[in-house]
Amino acid sequence: MSKQLKSKRPRRTRVGTLFMLSVLLLGSAALRLGFEAGPAIAREVASLPDAETNSGDVAKQAVSVPSSAELQHMLAAFQQREKNLAAREAEVEDRMKAMEIANQAITQKLAALEAAEVKLEATLSLADGATEADLTRLTAVYEQMKAKESAPLFEEMDPDFAAGFLARMKPEAAAGIMAGLSPQAAYTISVVLAGRNSSVPKE
């Protein structure tokens, strides 16, 4: 019995020593962790308010609402733009109306010019007809006159004018008048008549 008791005592002493060593190691480890982790945790905690503050500022900026003064300024700008657009539209409408009035006036003037041109053509045709009728009657009168009576008249006429009448007359009447003219007048009228006939196409 005394031997067994002696053998058990050293084992208990060894176990107690190991237990104490492990407790001391664990305690030192805990102390180290406390010393090292404490400041780190404090730093993390100290940084938390800044992060929250920054996130709050960002949220405020993202959800920023314009003030009433800004809204009034924007409304006034929109109203001014609307007024400018209305003024431009009115100006365009006025220009379109002016163009329509100008087009109508131009159309009326063109119609009046066309009517005047038609009237002028009718007047000229009447004048030409009247002139031709007068020349025909006057030519007939000269033909019916005696050569001795009509020759002095042709002597006083412009050679071109006299040649025009003689060209309209019958050859016998024209020959009698030419015979009663002076040689100079008869020559000049003959030259004018020859020039007129030379311009007539031969073929």
Same domain, 73 and 110: yes
Amino acid 8: pLDDT:
46
Domain that residue 191 falls in: 145-198
Amino acid 129: pLDDT:
66
Q: Exposure pattern of 138-155 as b/e (b: 16+ CB <10 Å)?
A: ebeebbeeebeebbeebb
Read off the pLDDT of residues 94-119 as tens digits, 9 standing for 90 and up.
999 898 898 888 988 888 888 877 77
Amino acid 46: pLDDT:
55
Contacts of 186 (CB under 8 A, 6+ apart): 178
Residue 53 counted as domain residue: no
Residue 1 counted as domain residue: no
Amino acid 52: pLDDT:
46
Same domain, 122 and 72: yes
Amino acid 185: pLDDT:
92
Residue 31 counted as domain residue: no
Residues of the chain with pLDDT under 50: 1-8, 45, 50-53, 55, 58-60, 62, 200-201
Residue 34 counted as domain residue: no
Same domain, 156 and 123: no
Residue 3 counted as domain residue: no
Total domain count for the chain?
Answer: 2
Same domain, 118 and 168: no
Which tokens hold the place of 60?
């405020």
Read off the pLDDT of residues 10-41 as tens digits, 9 standing for 90 and up.
555 555 666 666 666 666 655 565 555 555 55
